[in-house]
Structure 1
């Protein structure tokens, strides 16, 4: 639903001469107790006259509707900034929803906002500091605007204006959103469209940094604010605020940048006070409520007795059912099948007997790796994964993905007797990338094949990161979870740890040593950036032929941190010492390997926000010199990575 822009009436506080004003009485018959409102006629007239001049005079139009100009030569290209934000009822009273909106983790908001609990609900109007990565962005050939890019997916009923005012609380404007999204039509937005919302911010100049101004806080000017009150609230000064923002008139809903040397400590707002008149009016209501609660209490006592009797009867029935194993088996099967009922129309449901026959009773001779067995069903090979009943989430994720670089799930089976679940996948002849890289008894992978594998995996991750709603995070990207088919095309397997949804916090850290992103290991932050970090480690494996963790327990990415810092002209020399000997003997293009190494280093950046997206990674990999079209008798070969 579209909401018209809010009308802001800007009344100057000037001393008026004393006037004796006649009053009129306006009676609203629907008002409680027939209360009357007395409004001076002269003020009523002046108020509407002011609105008329406000609308007809251009000098009252907002002065910064499209953003705040910046100059890259005067400030850093990007910096850490903060926005002042207030939690509002009913949908913004928890850190989770606010962190999702601003694409940051809950601890990143809680720490500067002096919040102890990450799960407790917020108080209405509780102040928060939202961390922003502020950047000077070029919007056209002549204009640079300073803002933090926030990706937002259009929801039903959204307009640029509604989202800017209701969700982002005027930290941006709909005019600025239109400016940075030239391909989107504001009056014809499609649900699911991705838009950039530019949150206004500024980076300190070099002079301000020398004067110990570290942050510029983005604050939306309120009707009751003055520059003096803002300076007092944030521990700044009127002079420094005016210097940063200019000496012009600041209007409500405009952004004021408050310079500070450190973030002030925020305190929770006091409880809302109820006036004496309001409490008096509600006395009757409170008495009525007390009587009602007393009646309800008596009713609950009666219901409690009935419930206790019902519970005793139900327990006896359950005890009888426990004696009947067949009944227990049926109940378990119904419960398990109900959990995956949404998947029944997409996948084939196998019988336990079929899978036992396919694997000779899950004989160890048919083990591929861990609890995954090779089995033949109607003469066709499959990979059958045996697991205890914890596959519900994996099934839900797999049923909404369909891509050539993801291992395809063919069907599943539920063994209600042992509460086991079996997932039946397509079988890939060339096994895992881990085995092909680190088992020297296998055929050696040349550089072109390795590069093609990297692009296949990048395409698969790009699909689950960008084309699923909500986005899927794999959480366990590693060489043993990358499988190769007969044509050496790579497919991502094992979605057992995958999570649907980003920017979550978990205390249960899972994954494989050597591939886990630092922010996930330390803070439990789940995001697509953790997959990108793990993909960077896989690229290091492809280049070096080494495992992610050596015999001494040192991670491969730590070695890269230590050896590939400093001047880039020395990297090529170090790269030759890092590369797989097989690749050196092959005399592959060093420029191509260096390109992939640069991508890997970018993926391994300690700051998740500075890691590239999978879209950028796929594009960068496809620029390699060693990509080619190979024409054979069967047409174009599987290594046509550009075509994919």
Structure 2
């Protein structure tokens, strides 16, 4: 018994000694990368634990990291997208890791996660409380040099760099496909981490060194993602009564000592927080209330020009329509289904003002774009709500990937492709200035009762193109290479994303698989060769649901040729949406030629 207590106290002492001595991650500015040794970008994962009352559902975590719920659920071995998460639930978060130039000489490796500042947020609080030290406030300051950390504005967009690394060429040759980002905890050892991920101690040391300290980001080399176990249920310990009695006594003593230490630690942190609050100011609550009132006034002023075009709903109407925004009414993310005056609507809740989205939506009107019916601004919490038409058949993503019983026919898929292309052609060619959607993907394509497609979610859209931005947003697997690496915004980035959607329609596969590999990379490599080899490979690429239909493989090959043209690495050689619409509408007798010069839809050859 005395040995047990001594061992417990020694372990507890080491734990708290590490905790107090390491108040900040030793590597505070990020991790360097070298273009000559690694790829400029790669798909990887971060290990993340769901902690706190606001992180016990998949929707909030997917919103935090700007990825869809299925993209987290699949690698994390979750069977439900809506069930509550267990406290401390382990998850794999997919990341698009890039090597970024942060000043004239320094390149840092990280995934760009966009976050909107809320009341009470600081770089430190968001980095530690929300992202759980997967980044640091110092690195946030480096990546956002124009922002003043002590003067942040509610609703301001900030890039939080999530630490990550891409495997080197040598590591890839040695079957290291991922370097998983993991935050080293005070109770961790290198060996225990190796056991969790099915890696080895030597391989972890080779990548990270052997002087790893608490809160360091450790990059764990693995060939494939391990299967995460669900949290075990609480069970009764087995054993003899005498053994159980000794364990209970020892545990009681240990818990008592632990309680005393926790009280001391709590007092220390309370004292520290008090000092911090005094430095920030004693009137934080008054400031927040003032900011909220000012924010509502600014929002109303911003959307005043839209008041005569759209219906302005009261928040009480929307609460009643969605049963208080009940989770059972969630369509996807922060979009809820609601019934107003006997008619169904899709109600999108936004954290801050909707001016940019409203500004774009009020100048577009097309049958292949989801129609905005009205909006609401809640003066109590300064949230915005956009009320859209409700489309009965949900998203294209659901129909392709989550519906095993009713598979889309080839003709239905081709018609959907034409609908999407028509919608994109409209916003690219018939709006002044041109509109770039920036987030074309199957989950943003909705289907009405007749299975006709409409483009939704203009939250990331930009009016005007051929610009360069450091604010990279979008969805893994759909982002154009030039936008990811250089921040170039143009209509051709929508063309690239449309090409990925075409691949999903043809193959029935998702844009990114369970291992994080992008569908477009495989397709571009396979279908850029000679015609006969392409036809042979196409039969293994086509969705089984349409392979046995009466449609000819030649007809599918023509659409595949359009998709590959859309994926050309040089954006200037991608077709315009005008050419794509023309080609798709003539798909029965059109042969498209893929070459280094790009796509020429007017080259017609008899077969």
TM-score, normalization by structure 1: 0.47
Structure number with greater Rg is 1
